[in-house]
Each structure stands twice: as structure tokens, then as C-alpha cells.
Chains A and B, each alone.
Chain A
């Protein structure tokens, strides 16, 4: 984009000045063997695997969920029939995210919000209903474990569904998330447990999965969420990814039980975003793989290929989309998807065109799947690995993103790493700075957003069918009351007491939590216990 000022200057979305054209002199220090390597070989700049999409297309992996658990299940089945290759269960913000039961005063005064931003999934029973008719032994899954405080509960429920169906956990494939960035920086809820407790719970889950669910990816750092939260530059996204990885690695190493190559592969799948500056996003993915390799090898002495190879999920999020003229969002997400494909993503979820307005309709969801299918099948981009490798501009930009990301990581580390920079509120201030910068660019027309600050229309040219999630509070409440009435309350209480003791002693929470959900302990009961033992935290928001 063109920057306003006395001298004409062009900059990328992250603000890096760019020249009219690039040539060999811009990459003269690049050593192709050392800095690029072969796809699937160190330092993985050119791709995580040698054959990439010739061997396996990227996974079409959409987020979905609303209403009651059976509504969630119906939408997942629809998407799988449409061609999705794995499913992401979205829990509602109000109950699952906060771990409140339906009789909590915070929920009672907001009945309409239950099941609105995801499904209400508050017990093992709810997970069983949502997953009815879905072959979880064969399908890659994300069981809705968005935040660190929810993640152990969501996993305990999902894993318990498998056990009840007689499926060994060792057979399950899928991913957790437990994202620190969304939970503590981008969209912190009211009084979550502190960031350090979030790290502890995630690391418990990592250790549990190494032993019991070897094919499962327990956490997925999703610094893509930082972009929606004001930290919109590519160096923010990469530096936060690495700062988060460092926090997990240091915690697990400090426990003294595992060595780096025993667990690094469990955190080597992360989520990044595209949909911003096309070439810069591509450069970011290539830089991410190279930086990961360097971090694991040089800082931690990792040797195993699976520790050193970074796998990437792509999120083309709704923050890139406009409320105005929503069909334009199909074009935006297509561009983001194309960037991710050219950059070698392993999986992808696109915002649906109506997502800036409402919960996606089936049609909008189908379009997100079809967009990816068209890219995979019709335009010939999957035959050659890293097709942009060697481009003077892309290689220069990859170096530039990497350089700036190491610098920003240093800034975070100076402030105590991810947890320190969150607790002090430094990252929240940085996010506000980025937000105001973006707003200034939007207002002075440096950044053009079609339909928002240019090419506006008075009336929407196309009628968008707004999806209304059903009002589910009363049904969900009746169901939860019945569960609490009919369960063996002594057993539930005993399981909770055991979980409390485990939390306090520092043992791994997962086995006790699995027992608790099997005794029909609910999300709200676990949430109250977390708040009791870990205390709560107020995000230092500079509003």
C-alpha cells in the first residue's frame, strides 16, 4: 500500500518499505542449501514435507457450532458430507469458554447468548449427543478446546466418548488448541484463571497425550488470533508463536521428566493467518518454518526431525471480512486461501462470507469448503512444491519477516516472555497501539477496505439471509438439571474432591478429570474448582 507523506513510499501491510522491483542483489547473502534446503528437509523453509500436496491435500478444516449439542452434530455431519476433512467443534463463549453452568447468575441474565456463538457443551453427555453418528475413530477432530481453561475439560469429554465406544485413545487423531493468545490477549473473558495456570493445564495435557494418545496434537498455538486483537503485523504473529512455544518447552523441561525430543513434536503444529498482505503472508509461513527449526535446534538442542519440522494450520479469520457487502468476503478469503496454499499449509479454515454478521448459514459454510476444493482441484497449484521459492521478492521478504520477528521476540523476552508480557499488560498496550494505527490508516485512506472506506453503497445489493441460532437456554437448562438430579451425586463429589487434591499437589490433572466427567461432573463445576484453586485474573485492558 502507498504510505502518505512527503516522499512517495510503498510499504507492506506490516509497514516494511518495498522497492519497485527485486533482483539477485537483494538476496546475495542467501545460501540456498543452508537457508532454504529441500522441501521436507532442514531448515524446512520450502515446506514441511517433500511431496506436499502431491501426496496429501491440505485438510479442509472448518470451525462450526451453535445451539444444542445436536445442532452442532448436524452441522458437522453436513460439512463432512460437503467434503470437509476434519471438524472443529465451536463451544459457546458464554458457558464453555467461561466454564459456567446454566444456573450461574452471569448466564441467567444472558439467556439468549447460550448456544449463540457455538454450541453449549457442558458435560460428557453433551459431547455424546454432539458426536452421535460421527466416526471419531476415522475423523480428524478439534473437540472445541479453545482456551487453556476449557481444553482439559473438552479433551476429557472427547476422550471419554471414545473410551465408551471402545475406541483406544491411541487411535484418535486430532488437535487441541488451548490458545493463550485468544484467552489472555485477544478476547479475555471476565476473570479467567491466570496465564501461568493456563500454561500448567496445557502442559499437563501435553504430557498426558504423549503417554495415552500418541497421534493427538494436544495444543496448537494460534497467534493468528493476535491479528484480530490489534497485533496485526507479521512479526507480532511469529514472535508470539515462538514466545508461546518457549513457555511450554521451559515449563515441561523444568518438570524434569521429559527431554526436548520427547515432546517438541507435540507443540510443532501452530495456527497462522493469511488474508492480509498476500506476499508478506507467504513469506511469513516460510520464515515460520525456518525460525522454528532454528529455535528448536539451537536453543534446545532438538535432533529429531519431528521436533524440528513445523506444521501449519491456516485461519483466514472474520476480522479480515466486512459487514458491508458481505459477498466480497468470498473473494477476500479466496485470496487468503491461495496465499496459504502457495506457502505450504497443512490445513485450513476460512471465515464464511456472512461471518461478520451472524453464525454462518449452511450455504456460507459450503462456500468456504467449495473455495478450498476449487483451489485444490481446478487451478494447478498443488503439483509443484513451494512454487514461489527463488523469487527475489519472496526470498527477500522471507528474510525481512524473519529478521523483524526475532527482534520482536527479543522485546517480549525482555518483558519476561509470554507470561510476563501478558501479566504486566505490555502486550495489551502493544495491541492497542496497533489497533489505533490500523484505524488511522483506515481513516486517512492509506488502507483501502472495499465497501467500508471506499466503494460504499447505500443499500446492500444482495439480501443476506441472516442465520438465527435457536433459543436454547431453557432446553439446555432442563437437560443440565436432569443430569444433576439423576447422577450419583456422591460419586460426582468424590471425583471433584480428587481433582481438587490433584490440582493442589501438582500432579497431572487429566486422569482425575477423565474420572470426573465420567461421573457427570459439569463444566461449571470444573470451572468453579479451577477458580478456587488457581484464583482468577483480570486482564489489564488499556481501554
Chain B
């Protein structure tokens, strides 16, 4: 539940054109099991992610990112421009040295391969309920 007592709503999307869907499926399943509502947008451009987040009134945006830091920067700029206040978390094959780069852009946390699903669920719950 979020602060207002409704289900936490998560928009999940892929920023790159990579087609692996196993990771997002695992995360989406874990979030639903934890009582959240998940909408999967698939491969979306930054503009499309912002529009979908607004339309869905998402509390959280969960990104599957590849090496596309400039694309993520563009998304973060658009989110602040449009004053979308969703929490943004990311996962995927992110080299360790890119994690601080993404966090500096305003990504709340980055979950590389091997991260426990509990750590993702708990992070989202903690941050949304703050």
C-alpha cells in the first residue's frame, strides 16, 4: 500500500531494444505477489514512458536498462520537466561502474543480475511509504 492506502502501482518498461524478458517477468511476478499492481509497457522511448506513467498514475517506474545512460538521462529530464514524481528504479545488466552514474541521475536504486527479489520489493515499499 502507498501512503493513501491504495495499491502501489508500478509501470515497467525496457529502455533499450534488447528483447530478454525473463528478468522483467521475475520482477513483475514478485511485485504482484507483494500486492502491487504492475503494468508492463515493453520497449518504450523516453517520451512514451513519461506518457504511460502519467496515464497510469504510476507510483513507481521500473526500468530494464542496458548500457543506454544517455537515454535514461533523457527520461529523467523529461520526468522532472513534466513534474512526474514517480520513484524510478532500474535493473538489468549494468556494469558496477555505471551504478553510481545512474543513481546520480536520480534513479533511486539499481539492481544488477543476481539481486534478490526481496531487496527490490522492500526498497520499493520503503521508498513509496516514506
Q: How many A residues, CB 8 Å from partner?
A: 43
Q: Which residue of A lies closest to B14 (CB)?
A: A190
Q: Give the residue of A106, A111, A358, A451 whose beta carbon is less than 8 angstroms from that of B70.
A: A111
Q: Which residue of B lies closest to A187 (CB)?
A: B19
Find residues 163-207 in chain A having any chain B CB closer than 8 Å to their own CB: 186-190
Question: By the criterion CB–CB under 8 Å, are B95 and A466 in contact?
Answer: yes
Find residues 1-39 in chain B having any chain A CB closer than 8 Å to their own CB: 12, 15-22, 24-26, 28-29
Q: Give the residue of B12, B25, B40 whose beta carbon is less than 8 angstroms from that of A435.
A: B25
Min C-beta distance of A515 to chain B, whole Å? 29
- Interface 9-residue window, one of B41-49, B82-90, B120-128: B41-49
Find residues 73-129 in chain B having any chain A CB closer than 8 Å to their own CB: 74, 93, 95-97, 112-114, 117
Min C-beta distance of B44 to chain A, whole Å? 9
- Interface 9-residue window, one of A3-11, A91-99, A370-378: A91-99
Instruction: Give every chain A residue within 8 A of B21 (Cβ-Cβ).
Output: 187-188, 541, 543
Main secondary structure of the interface of A (DSSP, over half): loop
With A94-B16, A110-B17, A112-B69 in contact, is A357–B95 under 8 Å at CB?
yes
Cβ-Cβ contact count across A and B, 8 Å cutoff: 103
Min C-beta distance of B81 to chain A, whole Å? 15
Chain B interface category by residue count: 35 or more
Find residues 514-543 in chain A having any chain B CB closer than 8 Å to their own CB: 541-543
Instruction: Give every chain A residue within 8 A of B67 (Cβ-Cβ).
Output: 112-113, 116, 469
A117 at the interface (CB under 8 A from B): yes
Question: By the criterion CB–CB under 8 Å, are B97 and A543 in contact?
Answer: no
Instruction: Give every chain A residue within 8 A of B17 (Cβ-Cβ).
Output: 93-94, 97-98, 106-107, 110, 113, 189-190
Find residues 432-479 in chain A having any chain B CB closer than 8 Å to their own CB: 432, 435-436, 439, 443, 451-452, 460, 464, 466, 469
Instruction: Give every chain B residue within 8 A of A324 (Cβ-Cβ).
Output: 114
Bound complex: CA A158 to CA B26 (Å): 39
Q: Give the residue of B22, B43, B45, B69 whose beta carbon is less than 8 angstroms from that of A229.
A: B22
Most buried by A among B16, B17, B18: B17
B68 at the interface (CB under 8 A from A): yes
Q: Which residue of A lies closest to B27 (CB)?
A: A543
Min C-beta distance of A247 to chain B, whole Å? 21
